[in-house]
Amino acid sequence: MTSKSSQPSIHKHLLKIHVLGSVACLLIACSAIYFASKSIANQRGHYFNAQHLLANAKSDLNESLTQRMLLTTRVQHLKKEVESQLDLVPVRMLNSRTAQIVELAESVGVRIDSLQPLEKITNNQVPVQPLEIRAKSSASELYKLLGEMNELMPDIHIQSIDILNVSKEISDVQITILLYWFVSPADKT
């Protein structure tokens, strides 16, 4: 009998051991799953962070490439401008240049009263020969003259324009234009 009564006690004892072993295995399995999922989540976070950094780097690279292309285009444009840069003429061509200005003004209807060279400015890198024009014209004729002068005489800069209307009945105005004619630096005398 003792052996039969000890058998259920052994079974109970074995059952407790199996239950404890199962609980221990279950705890180990749950811990492994928890730590594995936490590691996967961390790796996923690193992956998304790396993707974000990569996207930012690609965006910066694209922006840099765009700026490089714009700068390259600008450099090419400036090179073309330098190649087609103005050939400045010497100041000794003053009579020829003033004749061209008078001819251009008369061709658009501006009547020149006087065209006088002023004192030459030589303290700049490019010497300037100021020219003062006194004339009469309508506003539309003046506008045409300024447009034509800008297009045909790029070495002349319009420094100032004074317009005086002396009569309300006459559409013509008196104008005084101060021109800066950029002359060749080789001819600074």
The answer on 97 and 28 residing in a single domain is: no
State the pLDDT at residue 1.
46
For position 162, which CATH number holds? 3.30.70.60
* Residue 134 CB neighbours (<10 A): 14
The answer on 104 and 78 residing in a single domain is: no
Assigned token pair, 82: 């330098």
For residues 101 and 146, the answer to whether their CB atoms sit within 8 Å is: no
User: What is the rounded radius of gyration, in angstroms, for the C-alpha atoms of the chain?
Assistant: 46
**Domains contained in the chain, number:** 2
The answer on 63 and 30 residing in a single domain is: yes
Range of the domain at 41: 1-85
The answer on 118 and 38 residing in a single domain is: no
The answer on 112 and 40 residing in a single domain is: no
The answer on 115 and 95 residing in a single domain is: yes
Give pLDDT tens digits along the chain (189 positions). 445 556 777 777 788 888 888 888 888 888 888 888 888 888 888 888 888 888 998 888 889 889 999 998 888 887 676 556 667 888 888 899 999 999 999 999 999 999 999 998 888 778 899 999 999 998 889 999 999 998 889 889 999 999 888 777 777 889 999 999 988 877 654
Domain final position from 64, 85, 106: 85
The answer on 174 and 107 residing in a single domain is: yes
The pTM assigned to this predicted structure is: 0.54
State the pLDDT at residue 84.
61
The answer on 103 and 81 residing in a single domain is: no
